[in-house]
Amino acid sequence: MDAASRPLPVPKPCPFPSVGAAPGPRCGHTLTAVAGPENDSSKARLILFGGATALEGSSGKGDAPPSPAPSTAGIRLAGATNDVHIFDVRSGRWDKVSPLGDPPSPRAAHAAAPVGNMVVIQGGIGPAGLASEDLHVLDFSDPEKPRWHRVLVSGAGPSARYAHTLSLVANRFLVAMGGNDGKAALGDAWALDTSEKPYQWRKITDAGEMPSPRMYATATSRSDGLLLLCGGRDTSGTPLGDAYGFARHRDGRWEWHAAPGDMPTGRYQHGAIFVGNRLHISGGAVGGGRMVDEASATVVLDTNAGQWVSPVSSSTEDFTRRCRHAVASVGPFVFIYGGLKGSQLLDDLLVADDSNGAELIIFDPRAPSWVQWMDSAHGNVAAQMLAKAASEEAAAALNLQRSAEQIGNVEKPLDFAVAARVVESLEARSESPDLVLGKGRPNEQMTPDVRLWHRAVVVHQENSLRGLENSLRGLVRQLSIDQLDNEGRRVAVYDKDDNNISTMDKMSPLFSRSSSVPGSHKKALSELLRPRTWKAPDDRHFFLTAQVIPRRHRDSVSLLVFHSLSVSLSLLVFHSLSVYVSLSLLVFHSLSVYASVSLLVFYSLSVAVSLSLLVFHSLSVYVSLSLLVFHSLSVAVSLSLLVFHSLSVYVSLSLLVFHSLSVAVSLSLLVFHSLSFYVSLLLLVFHSLSVYVSLSFLIFHSLSVAVSLSLLVFHTLSVYVSISIFVFHLLSVAVSLSLLVFHTLSVYVSILIFVFHLLSDICDICDKAEKIFRDEETVLNLRAPIKIFGDLHGQFGDLMRLFEEYGTPSTAGDITYIDYLFLGDYVDRGSHSLETIILLLALKIEHPKSIHLIRGNHEAHDINALFGFRLECLERLGDEQGVYVWRRINELFHYLPLAACIEGKILCMHGGIGRSINTIEQISSIQRPVTMEEGGPVLMDLLWSDPTTNDAVTGVQPSPRGPGLVTFGPDRVKEFCKNNDLQMIVRAHECVMDGFERFAQGHLITLFSATNYCGTADNADAIRVLGMDPVKVPKLIHPLLPGNAGAILVLGRDLVMVPKLIHPLPPSPPGSADGIEEDIPQPADAWMQSINDERPPTPPRGRPHVSGTSLEYF
């Protein structure tokens, strides 16, 4: 496994200093994290509730006492309490609070879950036995004055129980699972939709591979809506080590799915919490009065890698060996409080850092408690660095102070939709109150007809009180759509036979969800996706960078970069080979020099031997000459003796007597002569031999001289070759160095080009989005639930208000269970076209399967060059970059899909069907990328045509927009729907006063989402929301001018469209003229009804209001 895919190590929890009014020793309590305003984790708080503060009847054997069981005499975990303590994460300080309202009874082993800025408490066991099954809510809408509420839930629900789990799934559904009802462990699961009133529990059945009954398990939600249930104790008391994923699909199905592998050690009474995609599990009991061992006291399930990670063994104390403790997480930190260890109740707070070196911004690093913890966990260097960073940002932090919401002290039943905007319904589930989740479903089911609901939901968008932090936000009413004069057409819903059967998608694995890749779109989302806090910047300069290299040269630049890198790699390889050859030649040169030196030594030795032999030869010649001289002398002596002998003979003759004596002497001399002659012969032979030897030595000397000369010549040649090789080596090194320098320069240039390319944020976003659009169909096939947006025209503030009122496309909002469809015209006319299109593209990259964009008539260079987008690019990015960005985004527009079909029944487009479009296949056959000129009449009608002025004008008529453009009548709409098996067309393109408008007896709806269009039309703006049951709900939002309404449509599963509007609602006395159940006193409906009764007639589509003829008059 490579380093990139290897799971991160398990962080080690360290004790956190106790500052303030700490809760004290306890177990069986809950610890819940509540984020600050705007989900600001730096202002998060931990809410600790309840628990047992004493032990009763503990066996004292082992590490974990037996579990409590209800009885008339009380529970074994004594001292149950209902007190509330708050841990301020930023300062690291505990405070005890006494909320307003009636608190729940003292209890332990209960369950808690965060819902927006609230904590929901349910179940548990107290001194009198099991606590009631009622829901108690601790509301922090006013952080300084928290209040207890009791939520009324109708119908059957989970019975009184303890040791169960309670979690929020998909930011909307409270899910209670497992536990013990005083008789046995339970295995049921219940869900409560926090956005649907009256609140009602629904039992979940037939949801796949359901886990076995268990108690003391943990369940925690991941940011994408996946709930993970792990561990627990079964009916026989055996600790469990399995884990199950639980999620709600967009079609309303709930699904269980077993997670990969088991925990290293089965356990119960443990703690579990998600940090990102990593599930941190701490402590727990394993049965038999024992706790988990140190090696597995803290483990992590990496849901991205699909594997369990155990901690690295350490000699330090493991503080997590405990049970019945409580855990929570804020940002990258895991907080663990209290618990039970043996017979000892714990009162310590442990904090683990799973940031992996990321910036830690949720706390004040100058706070003494955090400084002390950082010193123990990371060393004082990290604490000093964080303190320095915090001091630099202190001034900026002062600007983030917010005024508190003004909430009255009158206690009333809590409305989740009022107090927790994050869980507001987007699926119109209230229209299906009899829906029971988990009922057996056939593989195929009939799809109901699309119809428009007869009432609209009205939400107040206060203008004059915006400085009070939206204190009246969320007041919801219902109003008949017949009172919307501007909406216009009172038509019957088109009836159509239920001939189409929709097939349910197969269950998808829950653990295949993954996070998006990093990139410039993250920067755009961070800066722009702030519905409640975004404000138009004073500096008109756009915050993202732009690339100035023309795109037509970008491929060439990319090829140049690739070529440079390939050439550089080739040169690097050649350099390595040349160095290797040079080294080889250098080694050969060294060997040749060594051989030459050896031959030179041998030559010197041979010359020395030759000289020695020559000296020996000279000596032998000298000896031979000496012997020859001696021989000559001996011959001379012999001759002298012969002469003397002759004389002696003569004397002998003379003297006979003397002769006898002389004869004897002569004979002696003769013998001596013979001997000397013999010696001379021997010397002569010796001389001959010495001459022969000398000649042999002379020949050997001549040969040795010849060899020496040959070796000398070879040595000279080898030296020459060595010098040549050395010169070649120097040249090759020089060439290699030159190539290396060139390689370095080319890599440097390549890096510069690549970095310059990366630094282009807008280009990066366009490239990634274009790649996604290339892979999509020309006509998208989408499923409900879905929200549909009309024209935006660069009015980014309206887009933010729509997100704020009706849900934000983020994991903290509703993107996990609802899609978004935008019908084009994102740019022009408004002053923030860049923000609008960049945010939508960034959302497309972040959620490619949930965000959908189709093309409008202003997504063309010849149009948006005239109506503001090109000018905005030049103004905010400069001439060179502005022209480039304008061209690049227009190139991207050529790849946008052209239409979308929802559930096979609703066709969404920008303009209309004109005169030339008769089938959906005509649209599907258009090949992208496509310009207006290449698209021909089909594309022109699709993006530019409009309905006729009313249902009485039929056929195809000339359009007032200009020559060549047409309008189409209701007969064309009905014929098109019939031929294509559709029930409705939803289109944009026209400004309508109430944000939406019906046509062709309800077969076509025009949608417009920009308010106060062009500064002259005080129209409402609308989006349309299609729920899982295809019910269309118009939702309207007023422009930030007095009295202009706004709307959207929500499409539910039963294909009923429910209009939802917002009007400014001033305070009014109690009373009701409508009889509709409301969240606050009724007379507001009467006030709205009187306003709508006096509203003037609806002007023609696209015609601006005259002053005094709209709600502005009132």
Catalytic residues: 858
Residue 416: both structure tokens together: 């989740």
b/e sequence 1023-1061, b meaning 16+ C-beta within 10 Å: bbbbbbbbbbbbbbbbbeeebbbbbbbbbbbbbbbbbbb
Q: What DSSP string runs through 917-973?
A: --SHHHHHT--SS--HHHHHHHHHHHHH-EE-SSTT--SEEE-TT-TT-EEE-HHHH
Residue 114: both structure tokens together: 């965060």
Measured distance CA(110)–CA(108) in Å, rounded: 5
Q: How far are the Cα atoms of 109, 133, 160 from residue 74, in angstroms, in the given order?
A: 14, 18, 16
Measured distance CA(152)–CA(160) in Å, rounded: 15
The DSSP letter of residue 100 is: B
Helices (H), 461-550: 520-528
Instruction: List, in order, residues 6 or more apart from 218 with CB less than 8 Å away.
Output: 165, 229, 230, 231, 232, 270, 271, 272, 281
Q: Tell me if residue 532 falls in helix, strand or coil.
A: coil
Residue 861: both structure tokens together: 């260079």
DSSP E strand stretches across 408-557: 444-446, 451-452, 455-459, 476-480, 501-503
β-sheet bridge partners, residue 814: none
Instruction: List phi, psi (to 5°) of 512.
Output: -95, 0
Instruction: List, in order, residues 6 or more apart from 698 with CB less than 8 Å away.
Output: 614, 617
Element (H, E) at 220: strand 218-221
Residue 477: both structure tokens together: 């009413």
In single-letter form, the type of residue at position 253 comes to: R
Q: Tell me which residue has tokens 């009198």.
A: 128
Q: How many helices and strands, by DSSP H and E, does the chain display?
A: 17, 49
Which is it for the CA torsion 867, 873, 878, 884, positive or negative? Answer: negative
Measured distance CA(219)–CA(199) in Å, rounded: 22
Contact 62, 285 (CB under 8 A): no
Q: What DSSP string runs through 684-709?
A: HHHHHHHHHHHHHHHHHHHHHHHHHH
Count of other CB atoms within 10 angstroms of residue 446: 10
Contact 913, 940 (CB under 8 A): no
Q: Tell me which residue has tokens 């969404």.
A: 908
Count of other CB atoms within 10 angstroms of residue 531: 20
Contact 478, 1085 (CB under 8 A): yes
Measured distance CA(1036)–CA(520) in Å, rounded: 32
β-sheet bridge partners, residue 947: 968
Residue 1079 CB-density burial (10 A; 0-12 exposed, 13-18 middle, 19+ buried): middle
Q: Tell me if residue 165 falls in helix, strand or coil.
A: strand
Strand 307-309: give its sheet, edge to edge.
Answer: 271-275, 278-282, 298-302, 307-309
* Closest to 986 in 3D by CA, of 835, 867, 852, 848: 852
